[in-house]
Chains A and B, each alone.
Chain A
C-alpha cells in the first residue's frame, strides 16, 4: 500500500477548565490511506474533537498532544501558520454539521466558493466563477447559475450542505473530514447528500474520515469503522465485519437498532461498563 495519508499516534485532547480537566480524546491512534474511515460515537465520545485536532482547530482552552501526527509526512503537531495555510482548504478540509451556521450569512454562495478557490490557486474572477459553477454542478445542483447568486438563508438545508461540499472540494483536497454532515438534514435529503459525496470521493480518490453517531449510516458508507466512547477507541473493524463485533459496547450499539424482522420488546438499552472509561 502507498504511504499513509494520515498518521495518528497517541492523540490526546484535554480541556483545562476551572472545574477540572476534561479529557475529550484519550490516546487515539490510527493510520489512514486513500480510503474511507468512519468514526462512530455518541455525543461526548470525542469524535468531533478528533476532527478538529487533525485540522489544528481545537478551540481554547483545549490542548492537543500526541506522539505523532502527520499528514503526508508533514508534521501537524508543530506546524506553523504558513504550513496550516497551505494545508487547510487546499489538501485538508472539513464540512460541518449545519450549513445555516457554517456559511457566511452575508456573502453569496458563489462568492464563498470563489474565495476558497482564489485563496489557494492563482485565478482570475471569471476563471474562479467558472470553477465555482462547475463545482455546483458536480454536487448536482440543478440551476448552478442561480444558486451562485443566492445567500445562504435563501437555500434549503440540503442545498446548503451540497454548496458547502462544493466549497470544500473546489481545490481538490487529499483528505476530507465529514463531521456529522447529514445530522441536521431530513432523512431523504441525507441519502441524496451522501450519494453525491460517495461519487465525488470515489472519482477523486480522496481519503475520507466520516464522523457520525449513526452506526448504520457509517457502516454502509465506509471501509473501516472506529467506535469511540469516552475519548477512547473501543473497537476498530472493517465495515463488513460489523456483525461480528467483539467489544460489548459495539455489540450493545448494534443491538439497540431496531430491525423490521426482529421487534424485540422492550427495546434493549446499552449497559455502560465504567471500565470502558478507565
Chain B
C-alpha cells in the first residue's frame, strides 16, 4: 500500500470510529431526553407549585422551552449537554455537573482499586487454569468465576459487611472514612487514599483503607470472575495454535512458551477485557455504593431516584453512559492499535 494510501486508510478508519462514537452518544442523549420528557413529574409544577395562576404557569413553561416542537427541544438539550449544563438538582440545589464532579472521584477510586484487584488476581488465575486445564486448579478457578456470575452484588456486599465488619471487626464501617479523620487532610485529587498518603496523614490513610477494602474487594471479585474467565479462554486459544507446537519443537522451556509466546499473543485482547471490566465496575458501583453508603456517583444516582430529582438522575445516567461508551470504544481502538497484525 502506498504511503498516501495508508494515510487515507487511517483517516477513513478514524472518521469511522469518531462517527460511531458520536452516533452512540447521540443515541444516549436521545434516550435520556425521551425519559426526561416522560417523567411523571411536571417540571413546571415543580418550580411554580400547585397553586400558581395559569399565566405564571404559562410563562414558566415558555421559559423552560416546553412549548417548542420536540426536535427543537432536543437540539437545545444537546447544546446544553455539550457545554455541561445538566440542569440544577432539585435535591441539592446545585448544578448537577458540579454535584457529579464532587462525587465522581469516590466512584473512580473504587473502580480503579476494584479493577486492579481483579487484574492482579484474575490474570494469573486465568493463565493457571488454562495451562493446567481440567486439573483441580482449573476447576477451582472456574468455580470461583461461576459464583461471581451468579451472586447478586448488593447481597454479597451486605453479607460480607455483616461478616467482616459486624462479626469479625476486621474492616471499617460504611462510608468512606470516619468523621474523626474527615478534616485531617485536604482533598486534592479527590482520591482519599492518595490524598492522605501525599499529606502524610497515616492514621487517616489506614482508616480510609479499612473503609475501602470491603467494597473494593467486592467489586474486585466481580472483576476477577470476568477477567479470569476471559484470560483462560484467550490462553486456551493461544495454546492450541501451531506456533506453540513449533515453539515446543524448538525445545523452548514451557515457562517461556507460556509467557513469552502464548501470553504475549493473548495480552492484547486481555487488555481490552480489562478496560471493559473497568466500565462494568463503574456500573456495578451503583448498587455497591448504596450498600456501603459510599458517597460516589452511584449513590448520587440512587438518591436522585428516591427523591425524584430527575435532573440529577438523568445527569448521572448520562455521565455513566458516556463513560461506558467511551471505554467501550477505547478498548476497541486499543485492540486495533496494539495488534501488530492490524497495525497501519
Query: A and B, one complex?
Result: yes
Which residue of A has the minimal Cβ distance to B247? A104
Chain B residue with the shortest CB-CB distance to A113: B250
Q: Which residues of A contact B243 (CB under 8 A)?
A: 101-105
Interface residue? A221 (CB, 8 A): no
Task: Give bound CA distance, A210 to B253, whole Å.
Answer: 27
B251 contacts A88, C-beta separation under 8 Å: yes
Complex CA gap A119/B255 in Å reads 13
Contact B247 A168 (CB under 8 A): no
Could you tell me which residues of chain A, from 61 to 114, have a CB within 8 Å of some CB in chain B?
A: 81, 84-90, 93-94, 96, 98, 101-107
Partner of B251, one of A104, A120, A153: A120
Residue of A nearest to B250 (CB): A89
Question: Are A104 and B252 neighbours in the complex by a CB distance under 8 Å?
Answer: no
Cα–Cα, bound, A164→B340 (Å): 20
With A106-B265, A151-B340 as given contacts, are A101 and B250 in contact (CB-CB < 8 Å)?
no
Closest chain B CB from A228 CB (angstroms)? 21
Instruction: Give chain B interface residues in 263-310, CB to chain A under 8 Å.
Output: 264-265
A119-B256, A151-B340 known; A102-B242 Cβ under 8 A: yes
CA distance A46 to B241 in the complex (A): 21
Q: Tell whether A140 is near chain B: CB-to-CB under 8 Å.
A: no
Report the nearest B residue to A179, measured CB to CB.
Answer: B249
Are B248 and A57 in contact (CB-based, < 8 A)? yes
Instruction: Report B-chain residues with C-beta under 8 Å of the C-beta of A89.
Output: 249-252
**Docked complex Cα distance between A116 and B253 (Å):** 11
**Contact, CB under 8 Å: A105 / B251:** no
Instruction: Decide if B245 touches A102 in the complex (CB within 8 Å).
Output: yes
Interface mask (B227-246 → A, CB under 8 Å = 1, otherwise 0): 00000000000000111011
Write out the residue numbers on chain A whose beta carbons fall within 8 Å of the beta carbon of B248: 57, 88
CB of B61 within 8 A of chain A?
Answer: no
A197 at the interface (CB under 8 A from B): no
Q: Is the CB of B341 within 8 A of A153?
A: yes
Counting CB contacts under 8 A, is B336 at the interface?
no
Contacts of B250 in A (CB 8 A): 88-89, 93, 115-116, 119, 167-168
Q: Quick check: is A189 within 8 A (CB to CB) of the other chain?
A: no
Assign chain A's interface to a size class.
20 to 34
Q: How far is the CB of B203 from chain A (nearest CB, A)?
A: 48
> Smallest distance from the beta carbon of A116 to chain B beta carbons, Å?
5
B259 shortest CB reach to chain A, Å: 13
Query: Quick one: given A84-B251, A88-B248, A89-B252, are A105 and B242 in contact (CB under 8 Å)?
Result: no
Say yes or no for A200: interface residue by CB 8 A criterion: no
| Closest A residue by C-beta to B267 | A106
The reply to whether the CB of A28 lies closer than 8 angstroms to some CB of chain B is no
A168 pairs with B252, CB closer than 8 A: no
Contact partner of B246 (CB less than 8 A), chosen from A84, A90, A102, is: A102
Structural contact, A88 and B341, CB atoms closer than 8 A? no
- Complex Cα distance, B249 from A90, in Å, reads 9
How far is A168 from B251 in the complex, measured between Cα atoms in Å? 10
The listed residue (A57, A86, A115) touching B249 by CB distance below 8 A is: A57
A55 part of interface (Cβ distance < 8 Å): yes
Assuming the contacts A98-B242, A101-B243, A104-B265, asked whether A88 and B340 have C-beta atoms less than 8 A apart, the reply is no
Chain B residue with Cβ nearest A90: B251
Min CB distance A272 to B, Å, is 31
Using A57-B245, A103-B246 as known contacts, say yes or no to A87 and B340 having CB atoms under 8 A apart.
no
Is B341 a contact of A93 with CB atoms below 8 Å?
no
CA distance A101 to B244 in the complex (A): 9
Chain A: minimal CB distance from B164 (Å): 43
Q: A119-B251, A120-B251, A151-B340 are in contact. Are A96 and B264 (CB under 8 A)?
A: no
Chain B proximity of A253: nearest CB distance (Å): 28
Q: Is the CB of B340 within 8 A of A105?
A: yes
Chain B residue at minimal CB-CB distance from A98: B242
A115: chain B residues within 8 A (beta carbon): 250, 252
The answer on a CB contact under 8 Å between B245 and A96 is yes
- Distance in Å from the Cβ of B272 to the closest Cβ of chain A? 15
Q: How far is the CB of B337 from chain A (nearest CB, A)?
A: 13
What residues of B have a CB within 8 angstroms of the CB of A164 in the complex? 246
A75 to B256 CA separation, bound complex (whole angstroms): 26
> Quick one: CB contact mask for B307-344 with A, threshold 8 Å, 1 for yes?
00000000000000000000000000000000111000
A96/B246 contact (C-beta < 8 A), A105-B265, A105-B340, A151-B340 known: yes
Chain A residue nearest to B249 in the complex (CB)? A94
User: How many Å lie between the Cα of A116 and that of B251 in the bound state?
Assistant: 8
Q: In the complex, which residue of chain A has the Cβ closest to the Cβ of B268? A: A106
Given A104-B243, A106-B340, does the pair A88, B253 have CB atoms closer than 8 Å?
Answer: no
Which of B241, B248, B253 neighbours the largest number of chain A CB atoms within 10 Å of its CB?
B248
Q: Which listed residue, A93, A101, A116, touches B241 by the CB 8 Å rule?
A: A101
B258 to chain A, nearest CB (A): 13
Shortest Cβ distance from residue A76 to the other chain B in the assembled complex, whole angstroms: 14
* Shortest Cβ-Cβ A-B pairs, 8 listed: A89-B251, A88-B251, A101-B242, A89-B250, A102-B246, A104-B243, A102-B242, A116-B250
A-B contact pairs, 18 of them (CB 8 A): A57-B245, A88-B251, A96-B242, A96-B246, A96-B249, A98-B242, A101-B241, A102-B246, A104-B246, A104-B261, A104-B265, A105-B243, A105-B340, A119-B252, A119-B253, A120-B251, A153-B340, A167-B250
On A, residues with C-beta under 8 Å from B are 55, 57, 81, 84-90, 93-94, 96, 98, 101-107, 115-116, 119-120, 151, 153, 164, 167-168
Task: Beyond A96-B246, A102-B245, A115-B252, list 8 extra A-B contacts (CB 8 Å).
Answer: A57-B249, A89-B252, A93-B249, A102-B246, A106-B339, A116-B251, A119-B256, A167-B250
A-contacting residues of B (Cβ < 8 Å)? 241-243, 245-254, 256, 261, 264-265, 339-341
